[in-house]
Amino acid sequence: MKRFAVALLTLPLIFSSEIASAAPKPVVVKSMVAMNLATPITAETKMLVVGPSIVLLDDSSVRAIGADGNEKWRLALTQGVSSIATALAADSAGNIWVAGSSANARVVPPSATPTSAPINPDNVVVDPKVPVRADLTIATVWKISNTGALLSTFTADNTSPLLINSIALNAKGFTLGGINATDLGSSGVIISSDLDGKFVKPIYLGSSDTSLDAVVRGTDSSIYAIGNSSETLAGKKVVGVRDGVIAKYSSTGKLTALVRSSAAKAKREWSSATNSLFLTGSVQTGTKIESALTKFATNLSPTWTYRFASTGPTLAAIGPSGSQFAAFTSKSAIKWITNWKPSKPSALVLTFDSKGAIVDARSAAGVPLALGYSKDLGTVLLSSSQTAVSIFRLT
């Protein structure tokens, strides 16, 4: 049997934002404008921008709205089976692929004291949670047309509870990434299939405290799994309190590289990624929180990077001509932005060109929840403030 060497790299990521290319000229922040929405959204709503539509996902219902905020179509994903839909992606034809987890049969929940989301007014980074629904063991993918018609449903039994955080697809297939419940806690899980729903054996990363929050499919069918962990992975021990992790797998599912993004006594995580390997996440050392933004090459070496004071949640989206977008809650002035001195943490969307220079900056109310871009609609931000959950666009 051949032995496969695994490249193991450790990235302290104690980078200064000076590493990134300096902006060619000062950037002035402009305000984004909130859309008038005909139907309500919540802080749990997921968002995907596809052509002229903004697709919104709530548990097991998906709908699309137009630039005017009016609903274009709506689809209930489940019929007689308990499911939770948690991730979205679109293919080149504009079809929407929704991923989540399902139960074999509807289960009546116990009549215990109702639970509510924890109050977190400062938006401090929260450690990932393992799946809490023991019956949700089936990975499920729904393929929907751009007019809201259900085209296909694909399922794969994982045998143990799982929570799907991300779906990535290309012309050869799709890949799901998330959290798998184990006897020791949780592992990352990667589930791949061709476009006809023929699944291959799942890949598990870690065994007690690992989460995968994003997956990317390479053009050669390689898979990049992105998240965080506090346990030893492929022989590489944790450096901080918690490390960000990037694992690269070949088209046959073999681990070929593993990067730990670490900082001493810090919690590190990668939580969002584009298909060009622009990653965003957080670094928390004590009460100090920063957003980390790094563009990686396919060999997982960083090509440019930034760190900004923030409250933690950081989102990535890909734009035209090799550009990238990042959204986070900014807490202080930024060197290349002339008029940005927030009196309190505020949502900020930055645009980077293909070389990593900041070329545009936009502000909005609230904490970023989702970020997307299309040629038809431009950059779209979903955010939550103390008074409302809103969708903002550029003007």
Q: What is the per-residue pLDDT for 10?
A: 43
Q: Encoding tokens for residue 316? A: 């990535």
pLDDT at 79: 66
315-347 tens-digit pLDDT: 999 999 999 999 999 999 998 899 999 988 999
C-alpha of 56 from chain center: 15
Encode pLDDT of 211-240 as tens digits.
999 999 999 889 999 999 999 999 999 999
Using the predicted structure, report yes or no on whether residue 5 has a pLDDT greater than 50.
Answer: no
Strand locations in 91-194, DSSP E?
96-102, 138-144, 150-157, 162-170, 173-181, 186-193
Angstrom distance (rounded) from CA 254 to CA 5: 10
Cα separation, 84 vs 101, whole angstroms: 6
- pLDDT category at 312 given cuts 50, 70, 90 is confident
Asked if residue 110 belongs to a domain, the reply is no
Q: Is pLDDT larger for residue 391 or for residue 7? A: 391
Structure token pair of residue 221: 């069918």
Number of H helices, E strands in the chain: 0, 29
pTM for this entry: 0.88
pLDDT in tens, 27-85: 999 999 999 999 899 999 999 999 999 999 998 899 999 999 999 999 999 866 689 99
Buried b or exposed e, range 310-326, using 16+ CB within 10 angstroms: bbbbbbbbebeeebbbb
What percent of the chain is modeled with pLDDT above 90?
Answer: 79
Count of domains forming the chain: 1
pLDDT at 130: 63
Asked if residue 111 is part of any domain, the answer here is: no
Look at residues 128, 142, 176, 119 and name the one whose alpha carbon lies nearest to residue 57. 142
Q: What is the mean pLDDT of the chain?
A: 89
In a domain, 73, yes or no: yes
Q: Examine residue 358 and state whether it is found in any structural domain, yes or no.
A: yes
The pLDDT score that the predictor gives to residue 281 is 97
Per-residue pLDDT reduced to its tens digit, 86-112: 999 999 999 999 999 999 864 444 433
What's residue 299's pLDDT?
95
Distance CA 225, CA 203 (A): 10
**pLDDT confidence of 359, banded at 50, 70, 90?**
very high
Q: Return the DSSP state at 321.
A: G
Q: Is 320 among the domain residues? A: yes
pLDDT value, residue 387: 87
Residue range 235-255, pLDDT digits in tens: 999 999 999 999 999 999 999
Residue 117 has pLDDT above 70, yes or no: no
pLDDT at position 14 over 90: no
Residue 244 domain boundaries: 7-105+127-393
- The pLDDT-based confidence of 121 (bands split at 50, 70, 90) is very low
pLDDT, residue 285, reads 95
Average pLDDT rounded to a whole number, residues 128-156: 90
DSSP assigned state of 17: G
pLDDT at 97: 98
User: Is 39 domain-assigned?
Assistant: yes
Residue bearing tokens 């997921």: 46
User: Using CA atoms, how far apart are residues 176 and 165, in angstroms rounded to an integer?
Assistant: 8
Dihedral-angle region of residue 366 (phi above 0 means left; psi in -120 to 50 means alpha; beta otherwise): left
2 inside domain: no
pLDDT at residue 133, as a whole number: 83
Q: Is residue 116 part of a domain?
A: no
Question: Which domain CATH number covers 232?
Answer: 2.120.10.30
